[in-house]
Every structure is written in structure tokens, then in C-alpha cells.
């Protein structure tokens, strides 16, 4: 059997070789010709798995070492008999830590008082729920908006989007791209409070850039980790952000270990390979050294060479 693996998935070299003929490629270079004779693809967000890539191939499993599946046409794969597996929650703690690092750094930079402020969390899944819980532990008031969860669980603990936008001092988005393209447009940004902070660490395409830019001067601070048309990001959006990073909010060592573990085990389950089913990695090759995350180093690296967006991600020193 043959496996094609995104060469930016860490800690995986040598793991599948006893069972597969393995080829490692940059995610963007996994094309129709390469996929044609593969049985499994282990990917990240830069490989768009759809009919154009997979039709006529012998691929049976697509496993992505990411929380989301926005880059995979899951409906087409289902019809084609291709199983799709993701890694829900693998880097949720890392994104939560990134969020609080960012807002405290922003407060330091701009002399903002965060005491008794309200955080509005749009999308209360793996990431949003951790931000909400940590926020409450830190003394913030938390407003939660998540229509699918509210429909399933009832209205208690949730608010509608307009209420959240009107009452929140900090608004952070954590929603999938599916069904949410252009989610944050004119109404969204017009409804936010003057002097609010806006954070997006979900998907760049959920934000209508023109609507955001029209409202930018009203906001006290902006943190952007995700961008439309990555890696070709809009210079105006980069200039508008107080803290700008190259889609690395989830890039912690533990988050990457979790993602790699998930796709290897999924491969083992699908192909019934006991050694892969039980695959695990140590938390690190050596004990973690506790250090303060310098988020502005990531900001400087992106601003100094935005054309290196992909390289900054693929060569990132995991936190």
C-alpha cells in the first residue's frame, strides 16, 4: 500500500514505513497525479481534497491532522466511498493560550484596562469552550453564541449574536468555515461596541475584509492569525492588525503531537494495523522548558516578509 504524507506533519517520519510505501510532499504539491496510486493521504490544510484531486484514484482514507475539514469536500468523499477523519480539539488548548497571550499583550501595548471586561465567544466548540472557561477563571464576564449548540441544548447559557456584539468588550470568533463564509460582514462589525477588541483565529474567509476595514478605526485593538487567500494576504488587513501572525495560533508542540497521533491511529484503525492503532508519542523528547511566549516575535516575522507566510508556518518553532 502507498501513503502520501504532508511533509509538515511533525514526528511522523518513519512511523508508517513498516506498513506502507511512503512519499512525503509539501501539502500544496499533492496533486491528482501523485494521489492517483495512493491508498491513504495524511494531510493538513494546504491540500484541497475534492473530486478534482481524488476522482479515479485508489485513495480510501483521507486523514487531516487539523481540527477543521474546510479543505475537504466531505460530501463528495462520502459518495466516492472515501473515509475522512480529522483531529477535533487537537490544538484547542494552544489556541486558547494564544488568545489570552494576545489580548494581554495588546492591553500592555495600548494601555487598555481589561478588568471586569466582557469576552464574547462566537462559536463554543473545542476552542471556544476552553476560552470561555479560562476567561471565567480569570475574572472576565463571558457571553457565548453558538446557534447549533443552543438548538440542541436549549437557550440557557447562550445569547444571540446581536446581544453578544453589542455588549462585548472583546469579540473572538471560533467557527468553522463551512456554512460561515463571509459570516462577519457590515452588520457584524457595525454592531460591535466602539472601543472593542476583535480577534480572529478561526478562518480568514469568515471575515468580509471591506466591512472590517470600514469599521477598523472604531476598535481599540485587533488580533489576526488567519487571513483570506492565504498565503497571499491583503496588505491592508496586515496593516490594520495590531498583532498579526501567520496562522500559527494552534502551533504548540502538544497540539502537533495530538494531531499526528490522531491521523496515525486513524490509519491503523482503517487498515487494521495493531501497531498503528496503539501509536503514541511522548509529550516531548525532553521535559518542557517553561518560557513566556513572545507573540510579537511572530508579528515581526510576518510583517517583515509577508511573502514568506508559508515558510514561517512550515518552519515554525512549536511553542
CA distance 313 to 130: 24
pLDDT of residue 197: 98
Share of the chain above pLDDT 90, in %: 89
* Residue among 236, 268, 231 at smallest CA distance from 248: 231
pLDDT band at 141 (very low <50, low <70, confident <90, very high): very high
CA distance 54 to 77: 8
Calculate mean pLDDT across residues 289-315.
92
Query: Quick one: fold of 92-244?
Result: Rossmann fold (3.40.50)
Calculate mean pLDDT across residues 274-291.
74
- Convert 226-259 to b/e letters by CB count within 10 Å (16 or more is b): bbbebbebbeebeebbbbbbbbbbbbbbbbbbbb
Q: Is the pTM higher than 0.75? A: yes
Catalytic (active site) residue 48: no
pLDDT of residue 284: 47
| Residue 286: pLDDT over 60 | no
**The three cell numbers locating residue 84:** 475522512
- Select which of 44, 203, 265, 313 is catalytic: 203
Which stretch of DSSP H or E encloses residue 170? strand 170-173
What is the domain partition of the chain in residue ranges? 2-90+253-277, 92-244
For the segment 29-82, what is each residue's pLDDT rounded down to a tens digit? 999 999 999 999 999 988 999 999 999 999 999 999 998 888 999 999 999 999
Rounded-to-5 percentages of helix, strand, coil across the chain:
40, 15, 45
Catalytic (active site) residue 203: yes
Same fold, 2-90+253-277 and 92-244: yes
Q: Classify domain 2-90+253-277 at the CATH class level.
A: alpha beta
Catalytic (active site) residue 315: no
- Select which of 23, 166, 167, 230 is catalytic: 230
CA distance 64 to 57: 18
pLDDT of residue 68: 81
- Select which of 44, 46, 144, 247 is catalytic: 247
Share of the chain above pLDDT 70, in %: 97
Calculate mean pLDDT across residues 161-168.
98
Amino acid at each position: 500500500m502507498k501513503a502520501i504524507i504532508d511533509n509538515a506533519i511533525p514526528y511522523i517520519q518513519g512511523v508508517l514505513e513498516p506498513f506502507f510505501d511512503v512519499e512525503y510532499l509539501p501539502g500544496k504539491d499533492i496533486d491528482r497525479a501523485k494521489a492517483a496510486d495512493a491508498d491513504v493521504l495524511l494531510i493538513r490544510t494546504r491540500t484541497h481534497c475534492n473530486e478534482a484531486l481524488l476522482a479515479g484514484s485508489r485513495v480510501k482514507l483521507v486523514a487531516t491532522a487539523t481540527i477543521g475539514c474546510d479543505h475537504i469536500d466531505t460530501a463528495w468523499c462520502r459518495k466516492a466511498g472515501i473515509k475522512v477523519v480529522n483531529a477535533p480539539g487537537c490544538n484547542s488548548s494552544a489556541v486558547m493560550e494564544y488568545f489570552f497571550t494576545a489580548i494581554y499583550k495588546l492591553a500592555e501595548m495600548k494601555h487598555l484596562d481589561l478588568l471586569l471586561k466582557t469576552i464574547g465567544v462566537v462559536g463554543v466548540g473545542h476552542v471556544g469552550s476552553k476560552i470561555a472557561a479560562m476567561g471565567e477563571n480569570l475574572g472576565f464576564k463571558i457571553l457565548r453564541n453558538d446557534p447549533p449548540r443552543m438548538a440542541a441544548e436549549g437557550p440557557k447559557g447562550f445569547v444571540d449574536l446581536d446581544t453578544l456584539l453589542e455588549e462585548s468588550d472583546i469579540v473572538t470568533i471560533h467557527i468553522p468555515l463551512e456554512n460561515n463564509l463571509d459570516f462577519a460582514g457590515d452588520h457584524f462589525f457595525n454592531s460591535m461596541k466602539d472601543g472593542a477588541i476583535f480577534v480572529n483565529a478561526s478562518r480568514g474567509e469568515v471575515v468580509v475584509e471591506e466591512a472590517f476595514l470600514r469599521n477598523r478605526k472604531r476598535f481599540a485593538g485587533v488580533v489576526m492569525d488567519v487571513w483570506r487567500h492565504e498565503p497571499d494576504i491583503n496588505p491592508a488587513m496586515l496593516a490594520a492588525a495590531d498583532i498579526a501572525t501567520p496562522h500559527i495560533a494552534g502551533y504548540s508542540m502538544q497540539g502537533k503531537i495530538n494531531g499526528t497521533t490522531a491521523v496515525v491511529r486513524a490509519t491503523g484503525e482503517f487498515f487494521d494495523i495493531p501497531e498503528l492503532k496503539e501509536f503514541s508519542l511522548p509529550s516531548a523528547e525532553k521535559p518542557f522548558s517553561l518560557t513566556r511566549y513572545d507573540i510579537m516575535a511572530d508579528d515581526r516575522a510576518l510583517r517583515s516578509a509577508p511573502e514568506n507566510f508559508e515558510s514561517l508556518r512550515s518552519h515554525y518553532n512549536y511553542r
